[in-house]
Structure 1
Amino acid sequence: MGRSEFDRQLEEGVEAFLMGVGRLLSGRDMDGQRRTDATFFKGGRRVLDGVEGRVGPWSYRPGWQRAAARLTTLGGLGAGGWFYWTDPEQTLTALEYGGAGAGGLLVSGAAVHAVRNRGQRELMREWVEPLHQALVGPLGIPEATRPRSYLHVPLNFSDDDAEIRIDLPVALKFKETEVAEMIVKKLALQGVSFSWKYDGRNPYVTVKKVHRPPSKVVFSDPKVKELVKKVPESAPLIGLERGQKIVSVDLDAESPHVLVSAGTGGGKSVILRTIASQLIHHGAHGYILDFKRVSHLWARGVKNVEYCRDIADIHDALVRLGAEGQRRIHVAEKLGDDADPSEVGPRIVILLEEINATMKQLTRYWEKIKEKGDPKISPAVDALAEILFMGRAVRLHVLLVAQSATARALGGPEMRENFATRILARYTQNAWKMLVPEVQPAPKSTRHIGRAQVVLGGMAHETQVMFMSDAEARAWAMAGTGPAPAVTLTKSAPAAAADTVTQLNSDTDERLHLGKQGVDDTDQTVHGRAVHALTSVAGDRYEDGDTDEDSGDEAELPAGDEPSGADEDADPLVGLREAEDFLADVDLTALRNARARDPEFPDPADKRGRESLYRLSDLQRWERNRLSAESGDLDEDDVSEEEDASVL
């Protein structure tokens, strides 16, 4: 019996000895408890679940390092014992002098190490350890985890080029927002971005300083003006991001339409002004649909621009533009894929202000004027939807402004998907989630003047929008490469009766005739209102020999030609005194004043002796869209000899 007990103890002893030797050589903890995820070749990063008490730094070392240290120590002790056994006196003498030298070196090294790592110790004490204590809960890691094993915080972590890396648990059972918020608070960071990497066995997050765009970008800066001149015609400059990088949207290659969403004072009209003036400078034609009436005063009288303030004219403009888009689709189909895109017609940019209010007004207007048998939905709303879905080939571009671009305001959730380019400023978190759900987390909104987030291709670019004053935008648009302006700020004397009068958006040519390919010269009406041709785009598009005999194109009539008898009855030519009887809110004095000063006042269509005659429809459209503040008195010096004759 005793023999059996001795055998059992011997076996246990041998087994314990062999296990101890195995742990010694493999670098495992000698007590057999595994505390970290360290392996023989790889160091540990985290404490294992269920481990209690403090875990020393030695447990994070790779197994081969621990085994080498143990074997070196045992080898040194064995060699010292052997020398002492063979020659005790010489060994003691060597230890006496060698020990003193080794001790001095050890003390010196410790002092140097303490001085050199003073910053690291302060970093650990003041920042890393408090951050570790704050992240234990959100990350779900043991409190005994060594902070240095997963928190890689450099000494200069507050510098602009610093990078902080934090290793994450493999299980990923945490919330990004909580972890990010705790990191920002405990390290007192500002203006940082988080990059999360989840794939593989070693997930981590990196925290970097966000380099801000320039504080101000103005068109008057010569360097900025040079950038504006260099950008392609189809890619107007929006602003500059960090590193002075250009932010622009290519309307032909990336996104044909742009959505601008911002709160009050966010610079929505400034953004549209910046983009539109550059497009008009390169020959584009503009339609400003501004129910607020005063958002884009810089564009008054600018060449190739029609400014619609009245809801009736906004309605008609959208219907005409929708019809023009359909015409361009057929033209593009005939031209084929290899044709020059400009063959379908010049670029048309549509500035649609305050879509929330405008869509409601269009719906109400249609409810008021529609007749029995007319569709329930406003044709203007349908036309806008068609334009948004037409794509890049027709060269119709919508720049849409909304304080709250809800699906209801835009006519449905599918309408928002047509805006691959979205510009947000002074936005709320709800607005960001609604318009840019693919970019998370949402960048913090700022009240810095001119700062916006430009979303291109699913990426948000913090941008300082270029500022153009009204005068600069007007001058740049007027100095473009398009045809000569139809209206100018300086009202000139009317031309002779035989001269051809070219008027912006006049009604003399009733055809939708915008490109080198025209359509039949037929009169059309839209729900009782004339469908006027976009003649601001026509006129100079035809050249001798450009027409195809089989294309069905017809020659344009000069704007000054006499209309037929039926047209004259429907749209009579009247003088200013006669027009006073047809215009409810304008008297003769206001008409004379506007003719002399208002750049949007229609040009005369004919002469009767020395008196200028105007188309009644032109005057009525001008009355609806005029600014009420322009009804001031006319100075006597402004009345020309022709005006005196018109009174007779």
Structure 2
Amino acid sequence: MTRHTIVRVAARYVSGRPLDGRSVREYPYLSRGAGRWPGWQRQAARLGVPATAATTAYAATAYTDYTRAAGVTLAVVAARAARRRWARRRFRRAYLSPTLAALSVPLGGARVRLHVDPGLGTLMPRLAKPLSPAEVAVRRWYGQRVEPVLRWPVDRAMRAWWTLQRACRPATQRLAVFRRPGAEDTGPRIDLTIDTPYLTDEQRKLVSSIVRSKIPAGELVESWDQVGASVSARWTVRRRPPSRVGLAELLAALPKLAEWEFYLGASVGEVPVILSLKDDSPHIAVSAGSGAGKSVLAQLVAVQVLARGGRVVILGRKGSHRWALGLAGVDYCHRPEQMHQALIRAARVADERNTLAMHEADDWDPGPRTLVICEELNATIGQLTTYWADTRGKSDPKRSPAVTALGELLFMGRSAKINVLAIAQMLTARAIGGPEARENFGVRCLARYTANAWKMLVPEAAMPRASRTLGRWQIVIGGVATECQVAYLTRTEARAVAAPVHMSAKDPDGPLTSDVHVDVDTITLREAADRGVIPWSVGAAQKRLQRDREHAPTPCGTRGRADLYRVTDLIEWVSGTLAPYAGDAS
């Protein structure tokens, strides 16, 4: 039986041991053990509190003026500490205690340690209560009269510290090579440690559901670590890509890319998102709601193809790509008959290139790359089918040759360097020609998506919350989704990027069905309609010229009975006429 003599109790008090003489193994000096504090903290409290009280009592009698000033200062510090302690108490009662109580049941009573940063999301603002007029007046008086006085020495100290850091920067930069990289600052987070060696998938899902329900901190990123004797989990705030990416970022990345690589934008930390039509997939599927920026993404890929001397075939009736009007190497097809012929020709070129590749070396280059942009594929397939049903003869096949050609491009376009960029609000298998054809799209881009669209196109990837930020896309490659802010180019910037490389009219593949070459300066309205310079028929264009005499281009000559117009004048007139409807393009 332990004897409690005065000497032994005094020794225990001074050394920081438990006063009842319990074992040192249970209550060690450096760690907490079974007690609330380690031994050294108990020792500091036992010796420091009496010493502080005695010093304060002596100073109060010997130095009255200084004691009064120190008392006021200590009172202010104590009041602020009590306020912070009260806020932490409310925080624990609102979030930590209910969460720990809910976790105790599924974890079978295992010891759980939970840390939640108060700065996470809107946790602290949720606890705020409306202020009365008196409280508002007191806070205003405090902010105007007291806070500046208290902040002044702190601000001066920080400015002096910053000045010292700038003075020492040359030396600290040289010493940086000896500094070991530390853990990345994750910012505000939720840390959970469970004293159990393993949790099943069902238990982890239940724990995650409890934490997200009891601590409403918004969208979080979850990570688990089950290595060792305990299981730990962390929830951090999801980092976002930059809010805007434009021409400067594209021009900086373009010289570093190979011919088959394309810059799409920036992800978290301004890391460039690069797409490879050689390694990732030869074709791109774009699925997004109206107004999400589908045509902006297609424009970005198209200008990079044109800048490298390639060709672009645009199938679309909306006029979303007016930036491409009049550019060399662009086949802008806005009528069903133009789309029909363009797809058949592209399939024929792909077949010829694949036939030639059989007798060439493995690294043989079949020619300039061709990008086929299928705008609003849900409607385009129907238009092609209807056009063929109205024009085919009795001996012609029932299936539209253009739809068949599109399917052939999807299956043999990789080796022929002919790539398809399919755009649709809902890229169903029926819209693209069947589920086997849709499987050729290894790169899938989604924005403003629904749960049904995500499950249909990329069920193998976890679905993040859809962003309402314009230009924010999820680029899914190989089941991995990367959040990307797509680079936005104005019409002038797009033409400037695409214009440096002009294609020759003597290209071995021949001219496209509606190419507008830079060497053709003047054309008739019929030629302009056939080549895609104007998005209307000849009759509709003539009526618009009659109604819009103030802004209509002036004829610069005649060819027979037809008036001749400069291509640049027609492009400027079309751009000005369609400008009020620019918001309709997605």
Q: Deviations over 1:603-642 (max 9, x none)?
A: xxxxxxxxxxxxxxx6899897669457314789934455
CA-CA distance at 1:359 after TM superposition: 0.8
Partners of 1:269 and 1:310 in 2: CA distance: 18
Distance 1:397 1:111 in 2: 79
1:483 and 2:449 correspond: no
**Counterpart position of 2:545:** 632
**Selected match of 1:147 from 112, 115, 131:** 112
Tell me the distance in 2 between the aligned counterparts of 1:260 and 1:640. 42
1:299 aligns with 2:324: yes
The corresponding residue for 2:246 is: 218
Q: Out of 406, 410, 414, which is 2:436 matched to?
A: 414
Which residue number in structure 1 is paired with residue 216 of structure 2?
Answer: 188
Tell me which residue corresponds to 1:160: 187
Whichever residue aligns with residue 337 of structure 2, its letter is A
Match of 1:595 in 2: 523
Q: Which SS does the other structure have where 2:474 is aligned?
A: strand
How far the C-alpha of 1:418 sits from its partner, in A, is 0.9
Q: Structure 1 residues 533, 193: CA separation in 2 closer, same or farther (over 3 Å shift)?
A: same
Look up the match of 1:461. Answer: 482
Distance 1:404 1:204, change over 3 A: farther
Structure 2 CA distance for aligned equivalents of residues 478 and 459 of structure 1 = 34
Q: How does 1:443-522 map to 2 (within 5 A)?
A: 443-479=464-500, 481-483=501-503, 502=505, 513-514=508-509
Cα deviation for residue 203 of structure 1 reads 6.4
**Equivalent of 2:96, from 123, 128, 131?**
128
> 1:241 corresponds to which residue?
267
Cross-structure match for 2:378: 356
Contact 1:300 1:600 in 2 (8 A): no
Q: Distance in 2 between matches of 1:126 and 1:623?
A: 62
RMSD (CA atoms): 4.1
Give the match's secondary structure for 2:272: strand
Structure with bigger helix share is 2
String of CA shifts for 1:117-145, please: whole Å, max 9, x gaps: 979977654433222334457xx333x44
The corresponding residue for 1:383 is 405
C-alpha separation between the residues in 2 aligned to 1:466 and 1:126? 43
Partner of 1:427: 449
Task: State whether residues 13 and 46 of structure 2, in contact with CA within 8 Å, keep that contact through their aligned partners in structure 1.
Answer: no
CA distance in 1, matches of 2:453, 2:311: 31
Bigger shift: residues 456-465 or 370-379: 370-379
CA–CA distance in 2 between the matches of 1:482 and 1:310?
25
After TM superposition, give the deviation of residue 237 of structure 1 in Å.
Answer: 1.2
Within the alignment, does 1:98 sit opposite 2:11 as a pair? yes
Query: Which residue does 2:579 correspond to in 1?
Result: none
Amino acid in structure 2 at the alignment position of 1:483: M
Do 1:170 and 1:201's aligned partners in 2 also have CA atoms closer than 8 Å? no
Equivalent residues in 2 for 1:568-587, closer than 5 Å: none
Aligned length in residues: 435
Say whether residues 1:252 and 2:278 are aligned partners: yes
TM-score with structure 1 setting the length = 0.59
The equivalent position to 1:312 in structure 2, one of 337, 340, 351, is: 337
User: After superposition, what is the alpha-carbon deviation per residue over 1:221-276, rounded to whole angstroms, capped at 9, x for unaligned?
Assistant: x4553223433332221110011100121112221111111101111111111111
In structure 2, how many angstroms separate the alpha carbons of the residues matched to 1:111 and 1:192? 45
Deviation track 1:172-229 (CA, whole Å, cap 9, x = no partner) reads 33583x654542342232332224578999766542322110011122xx45532234
Distance 2:207 2:252 in 1: 44
**More displaced stretch, 387-396 vs 623-632:** 623-632
Q: Deviations over 1:490-516 (max 9, x none)?
A: xxxxxxxxxxxx59xxxxxxxx942xx
- The Cα of 1:345 is off from its aligned counterpart by 1.6
Matched residues in 2 for 1:260 and 1:308: separation? 19
Name which of 378, 384, 388 aligns with 1:366: 388
Pairing 1:271–2:297 present: yes
Percent of aligned positions that are identical: 33
Structure 2 distance, partners of 1:472, 1:262, is 24
Distance verdict in 2 for CA 1:423–1:188, change over 3 Å: same
Cα gap change, 1:330 to 1:626, in 2 (>3 Å): farther
Pick closer, same or farther for the CA change 1:312–1:120 going to 2, 3 Å.
same
When residues 266 and 246 of structure 1 are mapped into structure 2, their CA distance, relative to the original with a 3 A threshold, is same
Residue 170 (structure 1) aligns with: 199
Task: Please list the CA deviations of residues 551-607 of structure 1 after superposition, one character each: whole Å capped at 9, or x if unmatched.
Answer: xxxxxxxx99xxxxxxxxxxxxxxxxxxxxxxxxxxxxxxxx9937x79628xxxxx
Q: Is the aligned partner of 1:209 residue 2:175?
A: no
Contact in 2 for aligned 1:594/1:601 (Cα 8 Å): no
The amino acid across from 2:443 in the alignment is T
Deviations 1:462-500 (A, max 9, x none): 111100111211221112x2426xxxxxxxxxxxxxxxx
Deviations along 1:295-327, whole A, 9 cap, x unmatched? 111111101111101111111111111111111
Counterparts of 2:402 and 2:252, CA distance in 1: 39
Distance 2:555 2:432 in 1: 47
Closer, same or farther: CA 201–435 of 1 in aligned 2, 3 Å: farther
Q: From the CA coordinates, give the structure whose radius of gyration is larger.
A: 1
The one-letter code matched in structure 1 to 2:201 is: L
1:94 counterpart SS class: helix
Q: Is the CA contact 2:513–2:531 (under 8 Å) kept in the aligned structure 1?
A: no
CA deviations 1:438-480 (Å, max 9, x no partner) are: 112x10001111111111232111111100111211221112x
Counterpart pick for 1:393 among 411, 415, 419:
415
Q: Given the superposition, is the C-alpha separation of residues 434 and 96 from structure 1 closer, same or farther in structure 2, using an over 3 Å criterion?
A: closer
- Structure 1 residues 96 and 405, CA, compared in 2 at 3 Å: closer, same or farther? closer
- C-alpha distance in 2, partners of 1:109/1:179? 38
**2:322 is aligned with what amino acid?**
L
Unaligned runs of 5+ in 1: 1-76, 82-90, 485-501, 504-511, 515-531, 540-558, 561-592, 603-617
Distance 1:428 1:203, change over 3 A: farther
**Pair 92,204 (structure 1): closer, same or farther in 2 beyond 3 Å:** closer
Long gaps (5+) in structure 2: 20-40, 50-80, 122-185, 564-586
**Retained in 2: the 8 A contact 1:132–1:147?**
yes
Q: For the residues of structure 2 that align with 1:470 and 1:599, how far apart are their CA atoms?
A: 25
CA distance in 2, matches of 1:462, 1:434: 19
Question: Are the equivalent residues in 1 in contact too, given 2:284–2:422 (CA < 8 A)?
Answer: yes
Q: TM-score, normalization: structure 2? A: 0.64
Q: Which amino acid aligns with 1:101?
A: V
Moved more, 360-369 or 305-314: 360-369
Give yes or no for contact 1:310–1:624 (8 Å, CA) kept in 2: no
Q: Deviation per CA, 1:272-304: give whole Å up to 9, x if none.
A: 111111111111101011133x11111111011
Q: Contact between 1:313 and 1:621, CA under 8 Å: does it hold in 2? A: no
Instruction: Pick 1 or 2: higher relative contact order, CA cutoff 8 A, min separation 6.
Output: 2
Structure 1 pair 112–312 and aligned structure 2 pair: CA distance change class (3 A): farther
**Alignment partner, residue 347 of structure 2:** 322
